[in-house]
Structure 1
Amino acid sequence: MTAPRIDIAANRAARKWTRREQAGRVLWALVVIFFRFSPRPLWGWRRAMLRAFGARVGTDVHVYPSARITIPWNLTLGAGCSVGDHAILYALGPITLGPRATVSQYAHLCAGSHDWRDPAMPLTKPPITIGADVWICADVFVGPGVKVGDCAILGARAVVVRDVAPRSIVAGNPARPMGTRDQ
């Protein structure tokens, strides 16, 4: 059986973003230096920059200057949430953080992938939804399309590729239930 012939050139040439999105991505790439090199306590400055690029940002949100945000207009940050040092919010699709959610240092929320079932491997942009009062510990990877329920804890270096129930504590690769969070 021969493998199906895939037109890679056509896949690369396919338009994955509108002209407006492409322009926004270029503009964000040009101004993100003002985000990344802002002093740490300038939380309001970074909130204002994210809002200027279409992010929905609640009150008292803390995003550290070293956090990497790919497409801010796909981002919703609930009141009081925090995004730590060197966290990656790869927001090709929507990423929503609920109120008071914490994304610790070096965590990676990846709302983009490719459909491996299609030989052309087209880009997909499944949303990530993080509930209220969730703690995403250091170095956690959260895959595309994952929903994390309120008050859950994703243990350090966990690889989370399936939904997590509210109040669950998960850890490992792949992430497995380790317990539940007390009321």
Structure 2
Amino acid sequence: MSLYRAIIFLLLFIAPPPLKPPILRIACGAQIGRGVSIGWFSTLMGRHISIGDYSAIRALTIINCGGNLSIGRYSIISSFTLIYGADGLRIGDHCYIGPQSLINTEEEVRIGHRSALGARCMLYTHGSFFPYSEGYWVRFAPITIGNRVWCATGVFLHPGTTIGDNSFVNSRSVVSGEIPPDSIVEGNPARMIGSMSRMQRTITPRRLDAIAEQMLHHFLVITATQGTFR
């Protein structure tokens, strides 16, 4: 990171949330959409920064990518998340990154549309510690998560992991290699235990009305008790 970018990185950390989007636009040439919010003591940096409309980076989150940083529309990165590495991060629309997650971007990480990571998920694109020059192993590879993928709390993804569209990874699973689309996987090491299409229920119009009523009730409870989503 150049000295100039390091100064901007620190300035963003201490700046009040309303000032962070304009600082990024002016100082970094970032493309920041409408209604974007960046919380207290959060900061971010990338070679090129793009954040879509109404996305949010919650308080106390650090993002430092050597490559491009792209966040789609209506996506949320929760508090206490750490994202860092020499390459970039691409997050689609309507995505959610849970609190205390860690995403290493030594190689590129891609997350498709309407996908989510639960709290305390870890994504590593490198695996090495012992000296490579002494014959020990080293692994660097990108991670790709497809569209409509849910990784529940505490999932660990190894370098080179690819998860196909419309899949679910159960809590505390350790995943490596390629997961086919429409999969349900769990365990250490993670193994396929079913398909999403077989688990999906048929929704009748009456059931759909009941679901909508339930969602509206929860929405009213949340807004009444918290008053805000920020």
Out of 150, 154, 159, which is 2:165 matched to? Answer: 150
Distance in 1 separating the partners of 2:78 and 2:181: 26
Query: By how many angstroms is 1:98 displaced?
Result: 0.2
- Alignment TM-score, normalising by the size of structure 2: 0.58
Equivalent pairs, count:
158
Partner of 1:114: 128
Residue ranges of structure 1 left out of the alignment (5+ in a row) = 1-21
Q: Distance in 2 between matches of 1:34 and 1:102?
A: 28
Larger Rg: 2
Aligned to 1:177: 192
Contact 1:153-1:168 at 8 Å conserved across structures: yes
Q: Do the aligned partners of 2:87 and 2:106 also contact (CA within 8 Å) in 1?
A: no
d(CA) in 2 for partners of 1:80, 1:31:
28
Other structure's SS at 2:36 match: helix
Equivalence map 1:1-183=2 (5 Å): 22-23=1-2, 27=6, 30=10, 33=13, 44-46=36-38, 49=44, 51=49, 54-71=68-85, 74-114=88-128, 119=134, 121=136, 124-182=139-197
- Per-residue deviation, 1:132: 0.1
| Deviation for aligned residue 1:78 | 0.6
Greater RCO between the two (CA within 8 Å, min separation 6)? 1
SS of the equivalent of 2:110 reads strand
Distance 1:111 1:122 in 2: 14
Shift in Å at residue 34 of structure 1?
5.3
TM-aligned CA distance change 1:168 to 1:70, over 3 Å: same
TM-score (norm 1): 0.72
Whether contact under 8 Å (1:92, 1:125) holds in the other structure is yes
Conserved? CA contact 1:46–1:65, under 8 Å: no
Partner amino acid, structure 1, of 2:112: G
Q: What letter corresponds to residue 176 of structure 1 in structure 2?
A: R
Amino acid at match of 2:126: G
> Could you tell which deviates more after superposition, 165-174 or 64-73?
64-73
Give, in angstroms, the shift of residue 72 of structure 1.
Answer: 8.2
Higher strand share: 2
Mean Cα displacement is larger for which, 62-71 or 100-109?
A: 62-71
Is contact 1:115–1:124 with CA below 8 Å preserved after alignment? no
Q: CA separation in 2, counterparts of 1:137 and 1:76?
A: 20
SS in 2 for 1:99: coil
Once the two structures are TM-superposed, the CA of residue 65 in structure 1 deviates from its matched residue by 2.5
TM-superposed CA distance for 1:135, in Å, is: 0.2
